[in-house]
Structure 1
Amino acid sequence: MNLPSSGTVARVLLALYSSLLLACTSLPRINPDMVHSPIAPVQLDGAHGPLSDERSKAILDRLKASGMETNIFDLHLAIEEALVGSPLTAGNRVALLQDGPDTYAAMLKAIEAARDHINLETYIFDDDDVGQRFAAALIAKQRSGVQVNLIYDSVGTLRTSPAFFARLREAGVMLVEFNPVNPLTARTGWDVNQRDHRKLLIADGRVAILGGVNISGVYSAGSLGSSGKKPKNGELPWRDTDLRIEGPVVAELQKLFITTWVQQKGGTLVPRHYFPPLERKGSDVVRAIGGSPDEPYSQIYATLISALHSAQSEIWLTSAYFVPDPQLLDALKAAAARGVDVRLVVPSSTDSWLVFHAGRDCYTELLEAGVRLYERRDALLHVKAGVIDGVWSTVGSTNLDWRSFLHNQEVNVVVLGADFGARMRAAFLEDVKGSDEITLDDWQRRSVRARVSERIGRVWEYWL
């Protein structure tokens, strides 16, 4: 989410949101019985297109054999295949990136290595030391003949000076301001409530980096327990997770970027090799999923709910902004009731007061159901990730809140397999180690002021 911290900006936006008499979009109702419906065998794509039924079955059998005792593949894959239009692709290599320093190093390396084009989509692009470093790298590549295309969100960049983007434009970088706050500059109809919350870098159509990190100096320090670097002036470090991906699934991420560019009327892209032949790079099976308020329902939401219904042993989720809708809340409680180990890591402090307290309003209900809650200390938690049964993992820009599922452009990937799942479980346990567990007894003793704050936050949950 990450709205700019300026009090004036926040009040203006809040007034805009409350004054817009917009119809409330609804979330899709996912029927858990759907997972038992007989559906055709799941087919995977590879570097050269769809794999044969036999090859697809062999890969899925290998994934099942390498995982823990679970039937998540039997229960989950078929329903996800029906809900989500993008294919499962084999032959990818996925690297887990922790925090801003690691992610920025990977992004800048990909930018430097680009020889044909760079597509960058981001919510925040600050005009600070980090933003200037990225701007200089992009301008240098543009001047060397590499075409740079940039989509940035209008609300997320409210604090960024127009001169910053003018410098990029003058260097030849093609720019799209997503849903401008100023209605006079809107190209596609004015809707300030719909935001582009994606963080996606694609270099040469071959390497993609995505997750939660914006381009801002607040991510300059690593969270305690990861890179060990401490921020200056006593500020809390930001804890985030991103992925670096190579392989056939990058083409699906490229499609998402270009679709947004076209929908925002960004003009004709400079001809480049946006879809080069992609070779097999590893053994990870990945699905790219884009969420958009222009679609009938959030495919990311539908995928998550179906995975929660299918979970057999573990649901471990980390969310920077946690404001669950009733169906998500019910899915978590139902999983705990059937004996699934449901754990959530959430922030102990935040940059959004309303979101923070709106999410806390449901803690009693979750704790009474047997869900375990942990608050991350010594860091501003900005992670959007989860691992289910040790074999189904997701990382992206999507928070577990109404805004991500209804109002934002988001992008996540699902990675299948025990090897990557083990890395996700290890990262989750590190966050648990750096957290304080909230018990029901302790929570019931919270102050009256905290309870009032929760109720106030909950009133605004749909718009947050």
Structure 2
Amino acid sequence: MSWPTLSKLTPVPALLCLALLGACSSLPTIVPDMVHSPGEPVQLDGTHGPLSPERSKAILERLSAGGAETNIFDLHLAVEEAVVGSPLSAGNKVELLQDGPSTYQAMLAAITAAKDHINMETFILDDDEVGQRFAAELIVKQQEGVQVNLMYDSVGTLGTPKAFFKELAEGGVDLLEFNPVNPMTANAGWEVNQRDHRKLLIVDGRIAFLGGINISSVYSGGSLSQNSKIRPGGELPWRDTDLQIEGPVVAELQKLFIKTWIKQKGEPLVPRNYLPLLEPKGNEVVRAIGSSPEEPYSLIYATLISALRSAQSEIWLTNAYFVPDPQLLTALKQAVARGVDVRLVLPSSTDSWLVFHASRANFSELLEAGVKLYERRGALLHVKTAVIDGVWSTVGSTNLDWRSFLHNYEVNAVVLGNEFGEKMRTAFQEDQANSNEITLQQWRRRSLLVRAKELAARIWEYWL
């Protein structure tokens, strides 16, 4: 397959800079660089990026040569080990949490039980019923002697009153605003286009929560059929997914939090037992993957592309913001061509008009290649998950769009194993059952107005 050339990205016009909160940041590159212009192919492999199809095939042949029967799990384990960045950790317990109510209940229970420290990192923290509940509990724990460190994104909390954070600070909570919009308050340089999109809670260095769920009352209603309800005002309930993790991999998530806190030049963390000795808690093999714009490429992107290329039977993706680059599109189409069942569950309604229509601009190409597309009804889909071959699963904050891979700090967990994979397959099938399938014949009959919206949105896809 051809690869885009690694090159500098073309500077954007001054008008666009103004639209981006009045500042142009230098843009990072990614492997492969997600640029529109074609160029000479760049072959990447192993520790330096996504594995080529030839390398994935070689791994399978090596496994087969070992004499024992090779299964799909062996293949994905070998591929995951080859894309080196953070270690694979065995002995973890992973619970799948769906929607806000169940996730908040688990998070607050862990916060209440905290004995040593609480580290929390979030994109959105609203001053509403849910946000106030979390703030009150964090202040209580701080006053009990549990050290609370809270990092929040400046753009994600633009609508949150300063008084909300003042109350937290007066309660003793250590706060850090990530990349402040106001350059006068920036400690680590002013990179306004780089955002902290992670949602991460770590309690006592022993239990962690991550996924797509922000701290906001938009999640106050469930989206599953048995408990779905319309929120006050008639808004759709939000559908999202998180993980609760215990075991050795929590240390890797803790290191990500500490590294980001230091890089943002927050006040020195109050000494606590941030990295306790962690005993095995379960049987899951997990890799914690963090990405940031300063890295040569997004390790989350590299890992996903490698898993897609190694898929043998199924690729089932659920994502809120699907604006893929050419290589991701090609990986999906090539998978269909070799007989893999490729399905995508995407939103039927969204909180971003531009993203919604930029996503739909890819439908014709995907449908013509044989990818099955579904749009989730009855909920505002905010999920960022994948399950491949029933053994390779990922849940996190990363959308399948240019912003997540180029401009955002993100965090995902990759879980390897049939047992958790079956839970992910069940969750996907439930979303699919609550979705409308988009067929090629139907899509070709869409109106000129819809086509015009797709074209207009696609112009902006890099910056969405």
TM-score (norm 2): 0.89
SS in 1 for 2:343: strand
Q: In structure 1, what is the equivalent of residue 395 of structure 2?
A: 395
**2:344–2:374 CA contact under 8 A, matched in 1:** yes
**2:28–2:296 CA contact under 8 A, matched in 1:** no
Q: In structure 1, what is the equivalent of residue 24 of structure 2?
A: 20
SS in 2 for 1:349: coil
Does residue 32 of the first structure (1) align with residue 36 of the second (2)? Answer: no
Q: CA offset at residue 24 of structure 1?
A: 6.0
**1:72–1:312 CA contact under 8 A, matched in 2:** no
**2:149–2:174 CA contact under 8 A, matched in 1:** yes
Q: Number of aligned pairs?
A: 429
**Pair 285,34 (structure 1): closer, same or farther in 2 beyond 3 Å:** same
Q: How does 1:59-458 map to 2 (within 5 A)?
A: 70-71=71-72, 73-74=74-75, 76-225=76-225, 227-458=227-458
The gaps in structure 1 that reach 5 residues or longer are 1-10, 43-60
Q: CA offset at residue 19 of structure 1?
A: 5.9
Q: CA offset at residue 391 of structure 1?
A: 0.6
**Pair 249,192 (structure 1): closer, same or farther in 2 beyond 3 Å:** same
1:255-291 per-position Cα deviation (integer Å, ceiling 9, x unaligned): 0000100100012100000011111111111110001
Distance 1:437 1:142 in 2: 49
SS in 1 for 2:110: helix
Q: CA offset at residue 232 of structure 1?
A: 2.3
**2:77–2:416 CA contact under 8 A, matched in 1:** no
**1:70–1:389 CA contact under 8 A, matched in 2:** no
Provide the aligned C-alpha RMSD in A.
Answer: 2.1
| 2:56 counterpart letter in structure 1 | V
Distance 2:90 2:224 in 1: 34
| 2:20 counterpart letter in structure 1 | L
The gaps in structure 2 that reach 5 residues or longer are 1-14, 33-43, 45-49
Distance 1:232 1:169 in 2: 31
Q: CA offset at residue 386 of structure 1?
A: 0.7
Distance 2:362 2:22 in 1: 23
| 1:307 counterpart letter in structure 2 | A
Q: CA offset at residue 13 of structure 1?
A: 8.8
Q: CA offset at residue 33 of structure 1?
A: 2.2
**1:343–1:372 CA contact under 8 A, matched in 2:** yes
Q: In structure 2, what is the equivalent of residue 56 of structure 1?
A: none
Q: CA offset at residue 302 of structure 1?
A: 0.3
**1:72–1:310 CA contact under 8 A, matched in 2:** no
1:82-135 per-position Cα deviation (integer Å, ceiling 9, x unaligned): 323211111111011010000100110010000100000000000111110000
1:129-163 per-position Cα deviation (integer Å, ceiling 9, x unaligned): 11100000000000000000001000000000111
**2:25–2:192 CA contact under 8 A, matched in 1:** no
SS in 1 for 2:378: coil
**2:98–2:241 CA contact under 8 A, matched in 1:** yes
SS in 1 for 2:461: coil
SS in 2 for 1:77: helix
SS in 1 for 2:430: helix
Q: CA offset at residue 32 of structure 1?
A: 2.5
**1:377–1:434 CA contact under 8 A, matched in 2:** yes
| 1:221 counterpart letter in structure 2 | G
Distance 2:84 2:191 in 1: 26
Distance 1:284 1:363 in 2: 35
**2:17–2:23 CA contact under 8 A, matched in 1:** no
| 2:132 counterpart letter in structure 1 | Q
Q: CA offset at residue 70 of structure 1?
A: 4.5
SS in 1 for 2:233: helix
Distance 1:17 1:374 in 2: 34
**Pair 318,226 (structure 1): closer, same or farther in 2 beyond 3 Å:** farther
Q: In structure 2, what is the equivalent of residue 8 of structure 1?
A: none
Distance 1:12 1:120 in 2: 33
